[in-house]
Structure 1
Amino acid sequence: MHGALKRNALRTELDRKRSYGSAMRFSWTDVCARRLAQHGLSTPLDASPAEVVSAMAGTHAQVISAAELSIALRINGATRADVQRADGLVRTFGPRGTVHLLPADELPLWLGALSAIPPGPTSWDEHVRMTGEQTEQVLAAIGEALDGKELTIDELTAALAESVGPWAVDRVMPAFQDLWPRWRTVTHLAGIRGVLCFGANRGRKVTYTNPGVTPAPAHESLPHVVRSYLRAYGPSTPQRFAHWLSAPVKWATEVFASVDLEQVDVEGETAWILAGDTAVPEPVECVRLLPYFDGYAYRVGNQPPALLYPGKASERVLPQNFQYLVVNGAVAGLWHQRKSGRKLAITVETLLKLGKRQRAELDEQAQRVGEIVGATPALTLGAVTVGGHA
């Protein structure tokens, strides 16, 4: 159990058991209290960035500055610079094939689990995709080209053209109104095979390197990822686990069945937790500003939408990738930030009336964001006029 739960006053199991068969009952307030504590949101953690990422079951890192803000928000006194200097994190392809930061010491287990997900049908046309033999040839060449090196996409493309042949780099892959080299259709696969991850940016250019990791066997890695997911997002269901991983529901159900779990009731719905993981912290008044993709990851793991997006939030916030205003674990608005030199303009659009204490905590949260990014914040309450991820 994570330290954040240990530090809080816990209710006993008997206090929360009610006559609903033999299943323990959790209210939505209970669920939010558990998740906010585990994620270091209700009370920031005294932990390293790698420990925070582990507690979150991975941190979405498509936009690295947003990931750095996500992590720093969860650590007492941390800044983006502290996260940038931290050891023990690897940026690679994680759940749903999206870019994540993962703990280096857990990477073999994560890659083993991701490699074990049954592949879905390919979306590439016949003239784009590679045969199984060609795929293995390209993956081996990627690992060799990146061994001990950090290469840009163009440099890696040139290396593959030389080692594999021009067919591997034919510009046939449609992407962003352009055509990319054929080998890039297997970039995600190279990531979960452990022969490719992100290196340090070279200016504005992305680089890749070889982490030198062998995926762990499925019988070790799958239980690890289920436990990581349920610690971060439980109580949950196989269907939501499948959605979080982008995996088949039948397969996810079988994986759930392989782990020692306990059935519970959440607001009349059956869900599961790790066996014995029944602790619930006392609810803490909690107003938080979650950056891009942090709220998205919180949503993907933190279903059901009807409870997470109450009232107007289901129409205003859910459809797009906004930055979330979260109050007591539920989405209560959206926000936008614009940095100019040492100044940071923060606009928060609230979808409910904040009490005096909540408004004060929002001010504190804006100050904390400014501290993390190294700028002086100016908070305005009003409509966010830009679109999602702007």
Structure 2
Amino acid sequence: MANLSTVMPQLSWPEVWGRRLGRHGLSAPFPGRAVDAVAAMCGAHAQVLSAAEVSIGLRVAGVTRSDVRDALWNERSLVKTFGPRGTVHLLPSRELPLWTGALGALPPSSNSLSADARLTPDQTDEVVAAIAEALADAELTIDELTAAVVASSGSWAADPVVPAFGGMWPRWRQAMHLAAHRGVLCFGPNQGRKVTYTSPQRWLPGFQPAPAPDALAGLVRHYLHAYGPATPQHFAQWLSAPRRWAAQLFDSLADELQPVDVAGTVAWVTAGDTAPTPVPAHGVRLLPYFDAYTVGCHPREQLFPGAAAQRALSGGQAGNFPVLLIDGTVAGIWHLRRSGRKLNITVEPLTTLTVAQRRDLDEQADRIGEILEGRPHLTIGTVTVGGHA
């Protein structure tokens, strides 16, 4: 890593929040397209698509859920796939070579299944190859994809050994996110209420993952631009990767990185990226479930100060509650319940709002109504539902 004996640039936490808000389009929305916001935040978590639509819409002036879906299924500037932590994300199609090159190079994650339930490395490769063949020229539901994988690999692939949502998934599904990380699977458009899967090669002719060293270096640069200053441990947590591996990766990029002092803590930015933002952290935002800012920013004790840690974190995990963000840090939670076109938004602040903050909150509720193409009704009160409800 770079020599720490030299005098390090210093940043305060308000300066860090200002940098991050600006780079996420949260201090002022971007003027561009949905894909530009997704690139800026290093992917939008999309297990619940409406949450991704809000994440993107808050960052791009005028964008609605229809624009996001058009970018996905018509323009194809976005792709829905398994991203960081093996979770469903929207990623820029133009960056898919980088993402697959990097994610496909991550060390194998720990597996909590019993030894007799796990896929062997050879079985994993066989399943990924079967997925690639099945999706090369098709959009398949999960049942259709299961049938194709079992027909190619054998009956062992169908063994119901993976606990999931009150039932058991077939053995092959352990490799599903790996197939996405290796660039042979992404989501296709729904068939009614059924999810489909296809190959990104169908939409991106000539696509293939970038070489791993270049892709990993590019991902570190992307991450530090959006979430820096940060440590290798923060990067590891964001990716769900081993800490030692992340530290070694940062060491290998020592010539490209620079340490900074953030209120007495050493963290890292890309070399030369040390200036504080000219715009201080300011304003009110209503961030949805698993918003990239909430999940990617560290350390948690700074992002979730005081009572926010008890109210808005779930076992130390960020994202299970939509959060009220004031001046870059969490200051409450909120919940949305949709009834037809009516959007009932309940916000529970953890501090007394000023007149200006209440005005900003009203504007945020109106903006969410525009994004989700509904009629918002804002209530200040206690959120009674649990996390991820």
AA aligned to 2:146 is: T
Q: 1:316 aligns with which of 304, 311, 316?
A: 311
Q: Residues 125-156 of structure 1: CA distance to partner in whole angstroms, max 9, x if unpaired?
A: 23322232222221111101011211000011
AA aligned to 2:169 is: W
Q: 1:265 aligns with which of 258, 261, 268?
A: 261
Tell me the percent identity. 59
More deviation in 347-356 or 195-204?
195-204
The runs of at least 4 consecutive aligned structure 1 residues that moved more than 3 Å come to none
More deviation in 210-219 or 234-243?
210-219
Number of aligned positions between the proteins: 369
TM-score by length of 1: 0.91
Cα contact 1:26–1:266 (8 A) shared by 2: yes
Q: Residues 306-346 of structure 1: CA distance to partner in whole angstroms, max 9, x if unpaired?
A: 21111211111112711000001000000011111221111
Aligned to 1:361: 360
Cα contact 2:284–2:326 (8 A) shared by 1: yes
TM-score by length of 2: 0.92
Aligned to 2:204: none
Q: Structure 2: how far apart are the matches of 1:131 and 1:310?
A: 44
Q: Structure 1: how far apart are the matches of 2:168 and 2:295?
A: 30
Deviation at 1:185, TM superposition (A): 1.1
Q: 2:165 aligns with which of 167, 170, 176?
A: 176
Q: 1:58 aligns with which of 36, 43, 46?
A: 43
More deviation in 109-118 or 278-287?
278-287
Deviation at 1:88, TM superposition (A): 1.2
Deviation at 1:45, TM superposition (A): 0.3
Q: Answer yes or no: is 1:247 the counterpart of 2:232.
A: no
Q: 2:111 aligns with which of 106, 109, 122?
A: 122
Q: Answer yes or no: is 1:231 the counterpart of 2:225.
A: yes
Cα contact 1:150–1:209 (8 A) shared by 2: yes
CA distance 1:220–1:333, change in 2 (3 Å): same
Deviation at 1:284, TM superposition (A): 4.8
Deviation at 1:172, TM superposition (A): 2.1
AA aligned to 1:282 is: V
Q: Structure 2: how far apart are the matches of 1:69 and 1:183?
A: 33
Q: Answer yes or no: is 1:141 the counterpart of 2:130.
A: yes
Deviation at 1:105, TM superposition (A): 1.1
Q: Structure 2: how far apart are the matches of 1:21 and 1:274?
A: 16
Cα contact 2:260–2:274 (8 A) shared by 1: no
Cα contact 1:138–1:183 (8 A) shared by 2: yes
Give secondary structure in 2 for the equivalent of 1:179: strand
Q: Structure 2: how far apart are the matches of 1:64 and 1:158?
A: 27
Cα contact 2:64–2:372 (8 A) shared by 1: yes
Deviation at 1:378, TM superposition (A): 1.1
Deviation at 1:91, TM superposition (A): 1.1
Gaps of 5+ in 1: 1-19
Q: Structure 2: how far apart are the matches of 1:209 and 1:224?
A: 26
More deviation in 20-29 or 306-315?
20-29
CA distance 1:364–1:129, change in 2 (3 Å): same
Deviation at 1:101, TM superposition (A): 1.0
AA aligned to 1:170 is: D
